Amino acid sequence: MPEREIAEQKMSYRQAVREAMREAMNRDDRVYLMGEDVGLYGGCFNVSEGMLEEFGKERIIDTPLSESGFTGCGIGAALGGMRPIVEIMTVNFSLLASDQIINTAAILLHMSGGQFNVPIVIRMATGGGKQLAAQHSRSLEGWYSHIPGLKILTPATVEDARGMLWPALEDPDPVLIFENTTLYNFEEAAPVNGTQVDITSAKVRREGSHVSIITYGIGLHKSLKAAEMLSADGIEAEVIDLRVLRPLDNQTIFESVRKTHRAVIVDEGWKSVGLSAELSARITENLFYELDCPVERVCAAEVPAPYAGHLEKASLPQPENIVETVRQLGGIYG
Amino acid sequence: MADSKTETKSREVNAQLKSGKRKQAGSGKDNARLMHHLLAQMIRIRRLEEKSYELYTREKIRGFLHLYDGQEAVAVGVMEVLEREDAVIAAYREHGQALAKGVSMNSIMAEMYGKTTGCSGGRGGSMHLYDKETNFFGGSAIVANGLPMAVGLAQAYKMQKRSSLACCFFGDGAVGEGEFHESMNLASLWELPVLFVCENNLYSMGMPFELAEAETDLLKKAASYRVEGERVDGMDVTAVLEAARKAVDYIRSESKPWFLECQTYRFRAHSMFDPERYRDKSEVKEWKKRDPIKMFSERLMDEGLLDEKQLADIESQAQQEVEESVGYAEESSDEPIETLSRYVYSDMKNSE
């Protein structure tokens, strides 16, 4: 992380999301939070704790279990001039709202010939690794990023968790924010009074010259760990945090791969027909002659998430898998 | 707007309705004007649909085309009591609602031609008519998908302390969808100004209503969400108007939703690809005896509120408007292929 001049404070990813929401609600009357258990319960992951008391039930709205209903309601409210933050407990349940997200939010602007944009922000938890089994552990953010009309954000740092919400609310189009459940307790120093982050670019989180590891979300943390392990071996990996899965920032990715000539993609989503395949294709289509070896991918095993801890661990990319994959790249020990 | 005359008239009539003058004007000139206006609106829709059918067979209009013939009294009766600021959300058989809400026939026809001058710029077609100017929010072809949107618009209006309401039209098929039940519950729970208008035309595509619903009394379903409502003869435009007025008065004064079931019938096939195996021709014939336009014009003549010449004038005006809309659509230009990726994101730079 580059050094900063502004005051920083250590906070958790959870706190950062909460602070971002509080700031947005204090800043703009049109902003409100709606979702299952966001009020009385304080949020399924404790993200909105205290917000009901602070903002009242008019702006912190507990909804019944009606994902399609309240997500569609958020879309309507956005069209009516409000700026709703809709929280869907996890990406798995968002499938119940996928009609509203995909059949309405993503395409209304287009179907209406540019008349009706949908300025909604939908936050949801994503990812596995907590032994919650197959219906609570999916990483479907790559799958959503298949859809034209949606913007897909995957904050991996406390700074992004804090900073991405406001620009997302300012965006005239639907923005989905995916918060990896294993990151909520992650602590990091972040600017105290909000922060300006963009929601358009990927970022180089660690510089290196031998290989580009391209990842996002929890994959960033595993990749950074892997990069440290590789460094001991004399391999310097550049780690790219995609941050935004749609639209993808080709430039940052390509610049890095042009420098390192090797690319490994780390994604907790499945490999087949997924985000990692898209990234690999883009690199190969654009930088084929720059590559010293084929693009490699470290992804989730092609199984639904198992409950048993050792099996789940084996099904997800781990720093050791990333290290192993990089070590086997052609010419890496040059 | 092509129909500025109709619109001005509509506004005047609305003002009368609101000021309560309409009641006193029961047999007077104003009442006759209102009746002529309702008739003219229904005839405009009928002529538009007839022309659309013809243009479809000539391959000028493509894709799916769902025609509204037979159901005109519902759109016209309900729309008469709504304000311009009220939101209307309809489904895929929505030419009638769009026209009645004030979307111009020119822009509807041009939309079906896929032209840039269409109300959705040629991106939507028959099933996706949108018009920000008149607060017409489509145009959704996913059954019941527009209902949560209506709930949200109503939520926004309530939060902003505006007096507007959201009115959604849907068919009996929508009642089987979860989004219907979720929306009714949310609107009731949060006391939102939503007018739910179910156009029960007895078939969800080819599925007969009584084979689709275990409970066919829709008011019971509404009541189970503590939503008040009423059932009305959807072939009788003044009955629909009265029922809608009662509904809108309730919604605006109580800030609560209302469920209006309009019993109606679609005279044509579900779409242009429907061989109509599921219903008997005699049933269609029987319902056509209750054609809302025929019944209403005969009634007006019986009551001395309409003569042959006036009817002929209304007919010829509608015919002329339809012909003009075809000319408009024919002459309008296609969107250049270069701008294909527009409207994916508001900021075009972010389009991929």
Task: Compute the distance between CA of residue A238 and CA of residue B62 in angstroms, rounded to an integer.
Answer: 53
The more confidently predicted of residues B275 and B160 is B160
- Inter-chain residue contact A80 with B142, CB threshold 8 Å: no
User: Collapsing DSSP states into helix, strand and coil, what is residue A187?
Assistant: strand
Long-range contacts of B107-112 (CB under 8 A, 24+ apart): B107/B2, B107/B131, B108/B48, B108/B325, B109/B48, B109/B51, B109/B322, B109/B325, B109/B326, B109/B328, B109/B329, B110/B325, B110/B328, B110/B329, B110/B332, B112/B52, B112/B55, B112/B61, B112/B65, B112/B329
Phi-psi category of residue B285: left, alpha or beta, with phi > 0 → left and psi -120 to 50 → alpha: alpha
For chain A, say whether B87 makes contact (Cβ under 8 Å).
yes
Range with the largest mean pLDDT of A189-198, B6-15, B89-98 = B89-98
Other Cβ atoms within 10 Å of B203 Cβ, number = 21
Q: Name residues whose C-beta falls within 8 Å of residue A94's C-beta, 6 or more positions apart in sequence.
A: A67, A71, A88, A101, A122, A124, A140
Q: What percent of chain B has pLDDT over 70?
A: 91
- Inter-chain residue contact B153 with A80, CB threshold 8 Å: yes
What is the separation, in whole angstroms, between the first and last Cα of chain A?
28
- For tokens 């895929």, what's the residue? B92
Torsion over CA: B207, B212, B217, B221 (sign): negative
What is the nearest CA distance from B220 to chain A, expressed in angstroms? 21
Range 159-198 of B in CB contact (< 8 A) with A: 159-160, 166, 178-179, 182-183, 185-186, 189
The answer, yes or no, to whether residue B24 has pLDDT greater than 60, is: no
User: Collapsing DSSP states into helix, strand and coil, what is residue A237?
Assistant: strand
Size of interface A-B (CB pairs under 8 A): 154
- Report pLDDT for A130: 93
- Report pLDDT for B328: 98
Task: Compute the distance between CA of residue B289 and CA of residue B310 in angstroms, rounded to an integer.
Answer: 23
Omega before residue A247 within 30° of 0, cis:
yes
The answer, yes or no, to whether residue B14 has pLDDT greater than 60, is: no
- Report pLDDT for B15: 53
Token code pair at residue A189: 């120093």
Q: Name residues whose C-beta falls within 8 Å of residue B40's C-beta, 6 or more positions apart in sequence.
A: B6, B314, B317, B318
Q: Which residue of B has its CA nearest to A149?
A: B344
pLDDT band, residue A86 (cuts 50/70/90): very high
pLDDT tens, residue by residue, B294-333: 999 999 999 999 999 999 999 999 999 999 999 999 999 9
The answer, yes or no, to whether residue A244 has pLDDT greater than 60, is: yes
pLDDT tens, residue by residue, A138-170: 999 999 999 999 999 999 999 999 999 999 999
pLDDT tens, residue by residue, A23-73: 999 999 999 999 999 999 999 999 999 999 999 999 999 999 999 999 999
**Of A57, A61, A66, A101, which to mutate for an interface test with B (greatest number of B Cβ within 10 Å)?**
A66
The answer, yes or no, to whether residue B7 has pLDDT greater than 90, is: no
- Inter-chain residue contact A80 with B152, CB threshold 8 Å: yes
Active site residue A136: yes
pLDDT tens, residue by residue, A282-308: 999 999 999 999 999 999 999 999 999
One-letter amino acid of B16:
Q
What is the nearest CA distance from A51 to chain B, expressed in angstroms? 18
pLDDT band, residue B12 (cuts 50/70/90): low
What is each CA distance from A166 to A171, A273, B93, in whole angstroms? 9, 32, 39
- Inter-chain residue contact B150 with A76, CB threshold 8 Å: yes
For chain A, say whether B86 makes contact (Cβ under 8 Å).
no
- Inter-chain residue contact B149 with A114, CB threshold 8 Å: no
Token code pair at residue B15: 């003002």
The answer, yes or no, to whether residue A2 has pLDDT greater than 80, is: no
Phi-psi category of residue A192: left, alpha or beta, with phi > 0 → left and psi -120 to 50 → alpha: alpha
H-helix or E-strand spanning residue A58:
none
pLDDT band, residue A330 (cuts 50/70/90): confident
Mean of pLDDT values over B167-173: 97
- Report pLDDT for B348: 60
- Report pLDDT for A267: 98
**Of B147, B182, B342, B346, which to mutate for an interface test with A (greatest number of A Cβ within 10 Å)?**
B182
Contacting B with CB below 8 Å, chain A residues are 32, 58, 63-64, 66, 68-82, 84, 99-100, 103-104, 108-117, 148-149, 151, 172-173, 200, 246-248
Domain borders along chain B are 4-330
The answer, yes or no, to whether residue B21 has pLDDT greater than 70, is: no
Range 249-308 of B in CB contact (< 8 A) with A: none
Q: C-alpha dihedral over B52, B144, B195, B242, to 10 degrees?
A: 50
Of A73, A113, A148, the CB nearest to B123: A113
- Inter-chain residue contact B352 with A148, CB threshold 8 Å: yes
- Report pLDDT for A319: 98
Q: What percent of chain A has pLDDT over 90?
A: 93
Under a CB-based contact definition with an 8 Å cutoff, are residues B193 and B255 in contact? yes
- Inter-chain residue contact B128 with A111, CB threshold 8 Å: yes
The answer, yes or no, to whether residue A1 has pLDDT greater than 50, is: no
Q: What percent of chain A has pLDDT over 70?
A: 97
Task: Compute the distance between CA of residue A56 and CA of residue B236 in angstroms, rounded to an integer.
Answer: 46
- Report pLDDT for A190: 81
pLDDT band, residue A333 (cuts 50/70/90): confident
**Of B159, B161, B177, B349, which to mutate for an interface test with A (greatest number of A Cβ within 10 Å)?**
B159
- For tokens 């008065």, what's the residue? B249
Q: Which residue of B has its CA nearest to A98?
A: B145
The upper half-sphere exposure of residue A176, i.e. CA atoms within 13 Å in the direction of its Cβ, equals 34
pLDDT tens, residue by residue, A100-116: 999 999 999 999 999 99
pLDDT tens, residue by residue, A268-280: 999 999 999 999 9
pLDDT tens, residue by residue, B64-115: 999 999 999 999 999 999 999 999 999 999 999 999 999 999 999 999 999 9
Domain borders along chain A are 8-191, 203-327
Q: Which residue of B has its CA nearest to A245?
A: B352
The upper half-sphere exposure of residue A153, i.e. CA atoms within 13 Å in the direction of its Cβ, equals 28
Active site residue A67: yes
H-helix or E-strand spanning residue A253:
helix A250-260
- Inter-chain residue contact B153 with A117, CB threshold 8 Å: no
Of A58, A77, A111, the CB nearest to B152: A77
The rounded Cα B212 to chain-centroid distance in angstroms is 24
B131 φ/ψ angles, rounded to the nearest 5 degrees: -155, 105
Of A66, A72, A77, the CB nearest to B156: A77
pLDDT tens, residue by residue, B182-215: 999 999 999 999 999 999 999 999 999 999 999 9
The answer, yes or no, to whether residue B167 has pLDDT greater than 80, is: yes
The answer, yes or no, to whether residue B1 has pLDDT greater than 60, is: no
CATH number, domain A8-191, options 3.40.50.2000, 3.40.50.300, 3.40.50.970, 3.30.565.10:
3.40.50.970
Of B138, B154, B157, the CB nearest to A112: B138
The answer, yes or no, to whether residue B10 has pLDDT greater than 60, is: no
Q: Which residue of A has its CA nearest to B116?
A: A113
Tell me if the domain spanning B4-330 has CATH number 3.40.50.970.
Answer: yes
One-letter amino acid of A174:
P
- Report pLDDT for B347: 78
Averaged pLDDT score across all residues of chain B: 92
Q: Which of B34-38, B292-296, B301-305, B347-351 has the lowest mean pLDDT?
A: B347-351
Exposure pattern of A312-329 as b/e (b: 16+ CB <10 Å)?
beebbbbbebbbebbeeb
Q: Identify the architecture of domain A203-327 in CATH.
A: 3-Layer(aba) Sandwich (3.40)
pLDDT band, residue B3 (cuts 50/70/90): very low
DSSP summary character for residue A172 = S
Q: Which of A13-27, B228-242, B270-284 has the lowest mean pLDDT?
A: B270-284
Mean of pLDDT values over B254-277: 94
Under a CB-based contact definition with an 8 Å cutoff, are residues A161 and A20 in contact? yes
Supply the ipTM of this predicted assembly.
Answer: 0.94
- Report pLDDT for B72: 98
Radius of gyration of chain B (CA): 20
- Inter-chain residue contact B352 with A104, CB threshold 8 Å: no
Q: Listing from the earlier edge strand, what are the strands of the sheet with A151-153?
A: A60-62, A31-35, A83-90, A121-126, A175-180, A151-153, A244-246
pLDDT tens, residue by residue, A208-235: 999 999 999 999 999 999 999 999 999 9
Catalytic-role residue among A19, A36, A87, A136: A136
Closest CA to A287 of A238, A249, A332, A254: A254
For chain A, say whether B347 makes contact (Cβ under 8 Å).
yes
pLDDT tens, residue by residue, B112-150: 999 999 999 999 999 999 999 999 999 999 999 999 999
List residues bridging with A83 in a β-sheet: A31
Q: What percent of chain B has pLDDT over 90?
A: 88
Mean of pLDDT values over A176-182: 97
Of B142, B151, B343, the CB nearest to A76: B151
pLDDT band, residue A9 (cuts 50/70/90): confident
What is the nearest CA distance from A184 to chain B, expressed in angstroms? 30
- Inter-chain residue contact A80 with B160, CB threshold 8 Å: yes
A-chain residues near B152 (CB < 8 A): 72-80, 84
pLDDT band, residue B23 (cuts 50/70/90): very low
